[in-house]
Structure 1
Amino acid sequence: MHLPDLIADLGLILAAAGITTLIFKKIKQPLVLGYILAGLLVGSHLDFFPSVTDTKSINIWGEIGVIFLLFSLGLEFSFKKLFKVGGSASITAIVKVLFIILAGYLVGKAMGWKDMDSLFLGGILSISSTMITIKAFEELGLKHKKFAGLVFGVLIVEDLVAILLLVLFSTLAVSQQSAGTEMLYSILKLAFFLVLWFLGGIFVVPSFLKATKKLMNDETMLVVSLALCLVMVLLADKVGFSPALGAFIMGSILAETTQAERIEHLTKSVKDLFAAVFFVSVGMLIDPAMLVKYAVPILVATVVIIFGKIIFTILGALLSGQPLKTSVQSGMSLAQIGEFSFIIASLGLTLKVTSDFLYPIAVAAAAVTTFTSPYLIKLSEPFYQYLNRILPKKWLDGIERYSSGTEGITTLSDWKVLLRSYIFNTIIHSVIIIAIIFLAYRYVQPFIMNNIANSLASIIISVVVSFILMSPFLWALSIRRIQRTAYAHLWLNKKYTRGPLIAIEFFRIALGIFFVGFLMYEFFDTWVAAVIALGLIVLGMVIFSRKLQSFYDKLERRFMLNLNARENQKPDILPWDTHLTELRVSPESEVVGKTLTELMIREKYGVNIALIERGRNNIPTPGRDERLYPNDKLLLIGADDQLAAVKALLEIDTPEIAEEDNFPNKEMTLQKVVVHAESPVYGLSIRNAGIREKAQALIVGIERGANRILNPSSDFVFDKGDVIWIVGNNKKIKEVI
């Protein structure tokens, strides 16, 4: 029996990937580089090793890898996070991306490349790697630093910008010219479907998962999650977007559900497998002869990535009001490219609008910058200190004044509050109403006409059903009162504001009439549409106003319940809501000389001491008899209010000390570990497992099903499926648990 080429090729790919990743693990380099090297070895350009024969099938597997990779990124993305990162991350990301795209385009044109090659080069160079940055932060123990919040925010915004670039580049590639109307149409189309999918997904998916929760074991949850992902992939492809966009959107919808962590855990193995195939397929496209031939463009691209991203990220962060130190650290953390760059490069190849040399150049530049990224992050603070010494004092004072000034710009006037609410209200309900109209016209009415009733009856049924579905959203769009307090202030306190307020209300009513007229126009002639529209407006919006309000309120409550379910499932104080903070014991503090037993910090405040640094000595997970001495530096874990209380107790002289000082032990992190049947601690109590002694780690919380236990007692016995929240050295914890 002949073994199919696909199976033989897959075995070869995974064997090569396994060997190279073991080597790269040993030398502590990113696994992505190992996968790319494996692809180079099994590709058709080298004869030293067996080569893949069925390249077409492997490329299909690689496309599946892109889908699951984007699904995984979506699970970490969350649209709510995008709103929470604020203006600083958005300004920083947009400034950086725009300038790097421009720089990449100009560099391409300077080297004599075509417009599309140059534009795609700019897009490839502009997006930093979320995976590589997070991995580097984990390895360096920087995830809880102040600047890390800005970096993660920038990465979130960049993920969305990358999706937008994929859509825009696809439009440009098809039209082969920068037609302004087509670009605008593509952007509006993307915005329309993003809003529609997010609203529909949040309303339906969490409710579905909640209703089927008792039926969902791990196997079923995995199958359902991947099915939801692929359904959204089909929808995205149906409306003309890339499959990767659909996977990303479904991931971001599931990120808002209470099952997000579970889904992320269950799909991780699938994602890792197909992502490995994708990155290997990326490596297979590399021709060593092409790398030699285009060594200069590779060098130029690498220089643009490293120096361009550092400069423009610092510029964007400073413009957004960040201090110089945070800006420099952020800039040097984002000087690399990764997964989205490969996807943009492969888009150009798939659409046949870029030259063959662009992909290997992108991969080579990604490999170099992935290697340099951890070192640049380490050098960020010394570089800041260097800038602090050489820059004129006038500049430094100006930056500090600008940064301090922007922090105070947080209050919103009544007009801003009202207009922001009206804009959101108009966009959201307009999208829903337009979607209902198009669904009725393109799908419902033809279906009824072909299967149920004749032409006229099908039209009447479609119009009635559509209007019934639209009514609550028309009421919310045109009549519903929004931000009553701000509206009342403007109406009563300033007589000159009544005119604009009345104009806004007229606009809302007119927009509602327009949508009803648009519905009628899709099925009838214009005059009939106008008459029926006015009649329906009077009947539906006035006579049934209270019922519409009641029904809409139910819809809104369900949506908000689903949207906030992930946050609302947790009590106020939980170990996974906590974070690590570094504080110093003041010589004047009342805690000096007392033992941890006497202070009872854990019992009184719920705060755990993970590490004490005393001079050159480190004391991980200190015992109850350990005393605190002047200038001891403590690594504490707790919620913000708990840490604030302990901070007051320790009486820190200079709040900046904790932020500036870094613990030499970078590997003390808060992490979660799931107990399985083969775990060494399975069936043992915390005391008998000896985790504190063997791993120098501290258990701060345990999650067992719906029960969550903060600071568990030493008699607690581990069971299969327990989620342990623990602070300690990652490597030692893995050896013990």
Structure 2
Amino acid sequence: MPAAVETSHHLYPLISDLGLILMTAGVAVLIFKKIKQPLVLGYLIAGFLAGPHFPLFPTVQDMGNVEVWAEIGVIFLLFSLGLEFSFKKLVKVGGSASMTAAVQIITMIIVGFTTGKLLGWNFIDSIFLGAILSMSSTTIILRAFDELGVKTQKFAGVVFGTLIVEDIVAILLMVLLSTIAVSQQFSGVELMESIFKLAFFLMLWFLAGIFFIPTLLKRTKNLLTEETTLIVSLALCLMMVILATAAGFSPALGAFIMGSIIAETTKAEQIEHLVKPVKDLFGAVFFVSVGMLINLDTLQEYAFPVVIITIVTIFGKTIATTMGTLISGQPLKQSVQAGMSLAQIGEFSFIIATLGMTLGVTSGFLYPIVVAVSAITTFTTPFFIKNSLKVYNQLKIILPKKWEDKLDNYSATTQTIHQTNHWQKYISGVASHIIIHSVIIAGIVFVSIYYLIPLSNGAFTYYLYIFLTVVAFLPFLYALALQRVAVQSLNQLKTDSKNITPLILIALFRILLCIVIVFIMINELINPLTGVIVLAVLIAFAVLFPKRIQAMYGKILHQFIENFNDRERSEAIRNKSDLTPWDGHMTTFEIPQESLIAGKTLNELKVREELGVNIAIIKRGDLVINIPDKDEKIFPKDILYVIGTDEQVKDFELFVDKSLVGSVDYHTEIVLKGFELTNEALNGISIRESKIRENSNSIIAGIERNGERILNPQPTFTLQKGDILWLVGDKKKITALFSK
């Protein structure tokens, strides 16, 4: 018999620690799924059990390993958030959500900072507390909305829009907090430098990403299986992480930016689906690592701050969000509901707290306090959302009638369409044009000076790289100086001779700016001879090839716009709209196969007369029917876009045999616009006789007259001069009708 060979295997702490984390997380997931509680809480408890502060359970061997896994978790969490974000969503949420988020964030930063100072904390702890309290939890809100069945209600759109704005503000806060942490003081100059640097790189990365990434994915679509798509998307994510780190930003920022760029491509949904398991895995590791920092002794010692901060979070965020929503022009009802929905802290709060720990600038007690406050507000959120309507009803009783009328009038005024100021539109277009093209040119020169030219190993390669740099930025230099901007407003302004002089001055300013940019580049290149060569090349190209330069720019612009709109063209044109100041909103219903209304015309169904709702859009496969007429039939699997109050929508849900799909937020040209009726020809005639529907391809969803509001008025309703008409329909045609 041969001698037995002894073998021993060494299990690295990295592997054993990951195994312990996932085992505890797995048990916690099953338990919390069974008791129908947020999984985040389960991860936090699992982390506490596997952490160094709970000796009755196996403990991780090396917290450094856990920090590495947690950092990876943050990267993939932010990448996934970016995939759900998209820069277009930020534009589409509109002024209401932006104003709500701005008021809420600014207020809570001030309130949080003040609370920290009153508790005797230092400056850094207090400023981090303010930032932490300003962020709400998307995960908790989505779960609560699903359980309570309120995703289709009007206020939910404001909440989702506010969460989108909070995501991008959180990224900005992380950069600013890093700057403050390094300097250990609030320096206005340093903060402005950080903001400028962040804005420059964000714009540069976004413009370059939209130009190159969708093109790459389209050119390689035949090679992109699920496996290769996952690998390529993660590679792009980590590439941007490296770029962000090299630029002096956090890795999380790079992950979020790449996710946002990919969110604009046609592959966004597929990549989001493929990345989800990776995000769930490393996200679990991150939240477990957060739980490991929970120390019961610390919590017991700081029980009073936990209680105070919890109260500040719940009531401060409720009041701040309600006020922000009111200021944005939403009615009191939706404002209260939105305010009571956002009264918690969540994922980004943990990430900001982690940033403070990583930088070593926050005290050890801040993290466990944040975790405790998050756990408490997680449980209170569903209760607050459920009782928000009761609070609103109580407020209606308490508030004086004149206050309520003023709020309603303010809400109506903020939503009414106003005449376009052509100067304002033109200046805005010129400013955007200058900023975008200046950033592109600066980016090209930056890459050339710091990465391309240093690679030169002789005069020939040096001047070759200079030539390539000039060729690269020349189309954008041409556009900056000579490309026409905001053409419609420009043509309108030219009709008045008084505008000619300022228009000429603006044109000269653009040309002067190009000259300044060229001289700055020459100065950066240092060599005077090189500067002369650059000027000569620029002049030669401008004289000899003006049409080619223009064509080159046109091709680049076309490719960018095509990539930017690619995802929209591949999706059905759908939209969610609000009916402010009414309690109405637009939501979607899918007609089930067995529905009794299938095969009937809108005239036969009489949903407007019987239920008080309007059907604004019918989507049938790839066919989109905007403002369907009375003879249009409903077929199984049609998606109907229905306008009505929460109660009317609920009645319609029952009418179509409970086939509710829920509110969606996709791009479409179908919008809501309100304007005052000033046309004498329409005074005293019915809606049907006015032909507004036919002339603007829209429907009158509501009328306001002397403070009274009528939602979905009948076709026989008589119009009067001074009525505020609210039209839902084609954006261009409604605007054209109003501007007559």
- 2:526 match: 524
- 2:23 match: 15
Change beyond 3 A, Cα 1:636–1:404? closer
Deviation at 1:414, TM superposition (A): 1.2
Q: After the TM superposition, which residues 11-160 of structure 1 pair with which residues of structure 2 at under 5 Å, given as runs?
A: 11-160=19-168
Match of 1:670 among 644, 650, 661: 661
SS in 1 for 2:37: coil
C-alpha contact (below 8 Å) 2:77/2:279 kept by paired residues: yes
Match of 1:391 among 393, 396, 399: 399
Q: Deviation per CA, 1:167-195, whole angstroms, max 9, x where unpaired?
A: 00001111112222111110001000110
Q: Which amino acid aligns with 1:448?
A: S
- 2:244 match: 236
- 1:261 match: 269
Deviation at 1:633, TM superposition (A): 10
Q: After the TM superposition, which residues 342-361 of structure 1 pair with which residues of structure 2 at under 5 Å, given as runs?
A: 342-361=350-369
Provide the C-alpha distance between the structure 2 equivalents of 1:261 and 1:657, rounded to a whole number of angstroms: 30
Q: TM-score, normalised by structure 1?
A: 0.80
Match of 1:473 among 464, 473, 476: 476
Deviation at 1:468, TM superposition (A): 0.8
Change beyond 3 A, Cα 1:503–1:260? same
Q: After the TM superposition, which residues 453-472 of structure 1 pair with which residues of structure 2 at under 5 Å, given as runs?
A: 453-454=458-459, 457-472=460-475
SS in 2 for 1:142: coil
Q: After the TM superposition, which residues 287-686 of structure 1 pair with which residues of structure 2 at under 5 Å, given as runs?
A: 287-449=295-457, 453-454=458-459, 457-492=460-495, 494-524=496-526, 535-570=536-571, 580-581=587-588, 600-601=599-600, 639=619, 655-656=644-645, 658=647, 669-670=660-661
Change beyond 3 A, Cα 1:487–1:472? same
Deviation at 1:303, TM superposition (A): 1.1
Change beyond 3 A, Cα 1:399–1:659? farther
Provide the C-alpha distance between the structure 1 equivalents of 2:526 and 2:67, rounded to a whole number of angstroms: 49
Provide the C-alpha distance between the structure 2 equivalents of 1:596 and 1:4, rounded to a whole number of angstroms: 60
Provide the C-alpha distance between the structure 2 equivalents of 1:388 and 1:641, rounded to a whole number of angstroms: 40
Deviation at 1:498, TM superposition (A): 1.7
Q: Deviation per CA, 1:431-486, whole angstroms, max 9, x where unpaired?
A: 1100111111112111013xxx24xx444333222111111000111111112221
Deviation at 1:38, TM superposition (A): 0.5
Provide the C-alpha distance between the structure 2 equivalents of 1:663 and 1:301, rounded to a whole number of angstroms: 43
- 2:210 match: 202
Deviation at 1:138, TM superposition (A): 2.5
Q: Which amino acid aligns with 1:540?
A: F
Alignment length (residue pairs):
632
C-alpha contact (below 8 Å) 1:329/1:381 kept by paired residues: yes
Provide the C-alpha distance between the structure 1 equivalents of 2:349 and 2:145, rounded to a whole number of angstroms: 20
Which 10-residue stretch deviates more, 350-359 or 375-384? 375-384
Provide the C-alpha distance between the structure 2 equivalents of 1:489 and 1:77, rounded to a whole number of angstroms: 37
Provide the C-alpha distance between the structure 2 equivalents of 1:295 and 1:79, rounded to a whole number of angstroms: 41
Provide the C-alpha distance between the structure 1 equivalents of 2:629 and 2:26, rounded to a whole number of angstroms: 49
Deviation at 1:496, TM superposition (A): 2.2
Identity rate of aligned residues, in percent?
50
Q: Which amino acid aligns with 2:130?
A: G
Which 10-residue stretch deviates more, 124-133 or 195-204? 124-133
Which 10-residue stretch deviates more, 544-553 or 635-644? 635-644
Q: After the TM superposition, which residues 183-222 of structure 1 pair with which residues of structure 2 at under 5 Å, given as runs?
A: 183-222=191-230
C-alpha contact (below 8 Å) 1:141/1:669 kept by paired residues: no
C-alpha contact (below 8 Å) 1:579/1:637 kept by paired residues: no
Which 10-residue stretch deviates more, 125-134 or 356-365? 125-134
Q: Which amino acid aligns with 1:507?
A: F
Change beyond 3 A, Cα 1:525–1:658? same
C-alpha contact (below 8 Å) 1:43/1:52 kept by paired residues: yes
C-alpha contact (below 8 Å) 1:78/1:256 kept by paired residues: yes
C-alpha contact (below 8 Å) 1:221/1:263 kept by paired residues: yes
SS in 1 for 2:498: helix
Provide the C-alpha distance between the structure 2 equivalents of 1:607 and 1:182, rounded to a whole number of angstroms: 67
Change beyond 3 A, Cα 1:663–1:54? farther
Q: TM-score, normalised by structure 2?
A: 0.80
Deviation at 1:670, TM superposition (A): 2.8
Q: After the TM superposition, which residues 170-185 of structure 1 pair with which residues of structure 2 at under 5 Å, given as runs?
A: 170-185=178-193
Change beyond 3 A, Cα 1:596–1:181? closer
- 1:278 match: 286
Change beyond 3 A, Cα 1:656–1:141? closer
Q: Which amino acid aligns with 1:470?
A: F
Provide the C-alpha distance between the structure 2 equivalents of 1:560 and 1:551, rounded to a whole number of angstroms: 14
C-alpha contact (below 8 Å) 1:205/1:254 kept by paired residues: yes
C-alpha contact (below 8 Å) 2:480/2:514 kept by paired residues: yes
Q: CA RMSD in A?
A: 3.4
Which 10-residue stretch deviates more, 636-645 or 8-17? 636-645
Which 10-residue stretch deviates more, 477-486 or 264-273? 477-486
Q: Which amino acid aligns with 1:488?
A: N
Deviation at 1:402, TM superposition (A): 0.5
Provide the C-alpha distance between the structure 1 equivalents of 2:421 and 2:351, rounded to a whole number of angstroms: 43
Provide the C-alpha distance between the structure 2 equivalents of 1:648 and 1:12, rounded to a whole number of angstroms: 61
Change beyond 3 A, Cα 1:630–1:495? closer
Provide the C-alpha distance between the structure 1 equivalents of 2:186 and 2:224, rounded to a whole number of angstroms: 49
Provide the C-alpha distance between the structure 1 equivalents of 2:33 and 2:615, rounded to a whole number of angstroms: 28
Provide the C-alpha distance between the structure 1 equivalents of 2:307 and 2:631, rounded to a whole number of angstroms: 49
SS in 2 for 1:100: helix
C-alpha contact (below 8 Å) 1:608/1:638 kept by paired residues: no
Unaligned runs of 5+ in 2: 1-8, 577-584, 635-641, 664-740
Provide the C-alpha distance between the structure 2 equivalents of 1:360 and 1:663, rounded to a whole number of angstroms: 47
